[in-house]
Amino acid sequence: MSKLYIDNDRYGSPPALPLVETVHNAMKDLVRRRLAESGDSWASFVFDSSDTLITPADIAAIEQRILATGYRFAWSSKLSARDRPDIYASTEGGGDDPDFSFEHPQAVTAPVDSEGREQRGIGDNVVRREQNVRGTARYIRNSEGVIDLMKNGVPAKTIAIIDDSGGTLTAPILEHFAGVICAGGTVRSHLGILTREYGIPCLMNARISGIREGDTVELETTAVARTAESYLTGKEMTARVWRVA
Cα dihedral 45→46→48→54 (10° resolution): 80
Angle, helices 18-38/56-68, rounded to nearest 10 degrees:
140
Residues shown for the chain:
245
DSSP single-letter state for residue 234:
T
Q: Per-residue pLDDT for 2 more than 60?
A: no
Domain boundaries, the chain: 18-71, 117-244
Distance separating the N- and C-terminal Cα atoms of the chain: 44
Rounded to whole angstroms, how far apart are CA atoms 97 and 90? 15
Q: Which CATH code is given to the segment(s) 117-244? A: 3.50.30.10
Rounded to whole angstroms, how far apart are CA atoms 189 and 181? 13
H helix runs in the chain, sequence order:
18-38, 42-44, 50-53, 56-68, 78-83, 143-152, 166-169, 190-198, 228-233
pLDDT of residue 3: 38
Q: Which amino acid type is present at position 143? A: S
Q: Per-residue pLDDT for 197 more than 60?
A: yes
Average pLDDT over all residues of the chain? 87
Question: CA separation (Å) from 71 to 74, 76, 90, 95?
Answer: 9, 16, 12, 23
* Mean pLDDT of the region 28-55: 94
DSSP single-letter state for residue 117:
E
CB count within 10 Å of CB 117 equals 22
β-strand partners of 244: 117
Q: Per-residue pLDDT for 154 more than 90?
A: yes
pLDDT of residue 187: 93
Nearest CA to 228 among 187, 174, 169?
187
pTM: 0.69
**Which tens digit of pLDDT belongs to each residue from 8-37?**
444 455 665 788 889 999 999 999 999 999
Q: Per-residue pLDDT for 240 more than 50?
A: yes
